[in-house]
Amino acid sequence: MTDIPRPGQPVRGSRSGAPIMALFDLIGRRWAMGVLWTLAEIGPSTFRHLQEKCETISPAVLNQRLKELKAAGLVHRVEQGYAVTQLGKDLYLHLVPLGQVAKVWAENLAEEPLHS
Amino acid sequence: MTDIPRPGQPVRGSRSGAPIMALFDLIGRRWAMGVLWTLAEIGPSTFRHLQEKCETISPAVLNQRLKELKAAGLVHRVEQGYAVTQLGKDLYLHLVPLGQVAKVWAENLAEEPLHS
DNA sequence: CTATTTGCTATTAAATCAATAGCATAATTA
DNA sequence: TAATTATGCTATTGATTTAATAGCAAATAG
């Protein structure tokens, strides 16, 4: 059920399981990046607290994503509940610059509204 | 049908449509990052060529993702078919470093196989 | 004991994704 | 000119994933 994409195994985008494609397969799931991002931002927290911070995520999906992120070693359990691992933090830090891209993107769309 | 997440509008992860969450909502869809990545790597190309490069994507999904990426201004049509826009390239360039993270991640998993 | 918090599952429904076939148009070739 | 090929898709049918909601069992607090 919980099927985690593994580098070296066939994944979306690469029959040979290229690491980047395996990673895309993992974090390219609904809420995956949002959960990682949020957890990294708020620090160690309980399931419910994280759920609140994600604003509209359902417990079922949060639980699913947490399972996957845990299995992938990006998140782990701590006394306080859940937290990102070192690897998870590394990934988060690489996601941070996307915040700037997102802003530029938002501005672009504001100027020139999407036509579809 | 084609529902593109827009910054400023409610999206997954943010009722107020925080740009980063809107972006996550957009590129956190099956194949979205894979398509953007592949297209950026191979340069302008036809629908079919891109489809081949994505190895296992179906035309329906590729078409859907292209629509969304176009509407979001990350991809556009050119004489040769499809290509990433400047904004799309910017995003791609920010995705490139994830390749390294992915490698480390792959090595970690290889050493310590996931326990689930 | 009672209430609350926490992590999570059950259920049911809706949305998304996938696999395959195949069509319409335009360019190319025979 | 007729046939072939390339291209960008759509239609159809299922399978999978996501969603919304309720609620439960275990641990903790009062």
pLDDT at B20: 96
For B81-116, letters b (16+ CB in 10 Å) and e give ebbbbebbebbbebbeebeebbeebbebbeeeeeee
Residue B17 has pLDDT above 70, yes or no: yes
- Å between CA of B35 and C1' of D18: 22
| Residue of B1 and B68 predicted with greater confidence | B68
pLDDT at B2: 54
CB B5 within 8 A of CB B19: no
Residue B115 has pLDDT above 70, yes or no: no
Instruction: Inspect the interface and report whether the beta carbons of A104 and B112 lie closer than 8 Å.
Output: no
Tell me which chain B residues have a C-beta less than 8 angstroms from the C-beta of A33: 24, 28
Residue B116 has pLDDT above 50, yes or no: no
pLDDT at A76: 96
Q: Taking the domains of chain B in order of start, what are their residue ranges? A: 31-111
Probe site for chain B from A35, A100, A105 (most B CB atoms < 10 A):
A105
Instruction: Inspect the interface and report whether the beta carbons of A2 and B112 lie closer than 8 Å.
Output: no
Fold adopted by B31-111: Arc Repressor Mutant, subunit A (1.10.10)
Q: B45-87: per-residue pLDDT in tens?
A: 999 999 999 999 999 999 999 999 999 999 999 999 999 999 9
Name residues 59-78 of chain A with a Cβ under 7 Å from nucleic strand C: 59-60, 63, 66
pLDDT at B111: 82
Q: A41-59: per-residue pLDDT in tens?
A: 999 999 999 999 999 999 9
pLDDT category, B1, cuts 50, 70, 90? very low
pLDDT at A1: 46
Q: What is the 8-class DSSP label of residue A14?
A: B
Residue B114 has pLDDT above 90, yes or no: no
pLDDT category, B113, cuts 50, 70, 90? low
DSSP code string of A30-65: TTHHHHHHHHHHH-SB-HHHHHHHTSS--HHHHHHH
Name residues 48-107 of chain B with a Cβ under 7 Å from nucleic strand C: 56-61, 64
pLDDT at B4: 87
Count of residues making up chain B: 116
A34-A105-B33-B53 Cα dihedral, nearest 10 degrees: 180
Residues 6 or more apart whose Cβ sits within 8 Å of residue A35: A50, A54, A57, A62, A65, A66, A69
Average pLDDT value for chain B: 92
Instruction: Give the span between the Cα atoms of B38 and A33, in whole angstroms.
Output: 20
pLDDT at B16: 87
